[in-house]
Structure formats: structure tokens, C-alpha cells
Structure 1
């Protein structure tokens, strides 16, 4: 599947999680449930994957951790906050660049209607 097709499946799985759990839980609760849904959908999912940073030609380990990466193509950053801020998108774009991925989804589960909490971030490699 390509990134856009994957994003549709990811969003569908996130909606099932949000419908079942509602809002107000910790990010870790949504993360484990979304990981479960994505695996049930037959997707390859990495959870809390270390993302190294290269600084002055030296690879520094475990500087960042990806919440979820689906099929090694789409990074999913999970939030449970009052509102998404521009810094959240910048953070996800940085992850995309470091992981050499094209598409990321920021999903804020702390909203009444999940569609209001989803933001796509693209990395124009």
C-alpha cells in the first residue's frame, strides 16, 4: 500500500479506538489500542521505535522515539492534549525527515469528534 492508502486505514482504526474509548485518557492508552487495531488490520507496526540523530557525522542513539510507524512508511504521532499547537507539526516533520518518510499523521484523541484531531504532515523529500 502507498502512504495515502495506509493513512485511510490508520484513520479508520483510530476512529474505532476513539469510539470505543472516548476522550480523556493518556496517550499511552490510545497508542496501545491503536497498535492493536492496526495489527488486526494486518499491518506491520513498530511501536516506540528509537530514531537516531546524526550530528557531525556521529549517530546518536535514542534521541527520539516514534510513537508508531506503519509499514515503515507512515509515522503516527499520538496526542491527548487540549489542542494541537504548531510545534507539534514541526516535531512530526522533524521525525519524518530523520526517518526519511513522506507522510505523518498527528492524531489528537482528546477531541469530541476525532476528525477534528487529525493532522496530516508531509515531508517533501
Structure 2
């Protein structure tokens, strides 16, 4: 499955969860519901996967990603009223630190589901020839 198809499917799962639950719950509730929905949709993923972060070729620690989907897409979820630039920067930094081409930042806390695709501009798949 290509990245666009996978992200589309993940966003559809998130929309189903938000449609059913609405906003106002803690992040972990949405995480559990998204786990159920993505399983129903046949997506392969790991939840709260610990991933190494590298700096200049050195392992400098770990961070748990909310979901790592189909072995190539990081999904970071929030349950806040409004996404700020810092949340977008955080998700973009995770893509770079994990050396992933694309990720999703999904916010369940707003009245309407809010999501952003984030790209690692340094990843070979995203470099223009």
C-alpha cells in the first residue's frame, strides 16, 4: 500500500472514531478506539512503539510513538482544543528522528477532527531530483 493510500485509510479510521466519540476525552481513550478501528480496517501497526532517536549517527534515546503503521508511517495523536505550531514541529521532528518519509498528526480534541500530514524533507523518498 502506498503512503497516500495508508494515510487516507488511517484518517478514515480517525474520522470514524471522532464521529462516534466526539471530543472531550483523554488521549488514551482515542488511542484505544483508533486501535480497534484500524484493526477492523486491516491495517498492520504497533501501538506505543518505542523507537530510537539518533543524532549524528548516535543513539541518544528513545521516544514512544502512538502508532507505527504499516512499517512506514508514524501517527501522533492529541486530544487538545487546538493544534499549535509546536505540535506540528514536534511531529515533523519525530519523522526526521525516526527517518520516516511521512507521518500524521491527529487531534481528537477539537469539535471537528483535525489532522495534518507531516513530511520528512530529508528522507530520500521526499527529495526532488
TM over 0.5: yes
Unpaired runs of 5+ in structure 2? 124-129
3-state DSSP of counterpart to 2:110: coil
Matched, 1:48 2:48: yes
User: Shift in Å at residue 58 of structure 1?
Assistant: 4.1
Q: Which residue of 2 aligns with 1:121?
A: 118
Cα distance in 1, alignment partners of residues 18 and 88 from structure 2: 21
**Cα RMSD over matched residues?**
1.4
Cα distance in 2, alignment partners of residues 45 and 4 from structure 1: 16
3-state DSSP of counterpart to 2:82: coil
Q: Structure 1 stretches (4+) deviating beyond 3 angstroms? A: 55-58
TM-score normalised to structure 2 length? 0.87
TM-score normalised to structure 1 length? 0.90
Cα distance in 2, alignment partners of residues 8 and 74 from structure 1: 12
Q: Deviations over 1:61-81 (max 9, x none)?
A: 43x110011101111110011
Unpaired runs of 5+ in structure 1? none
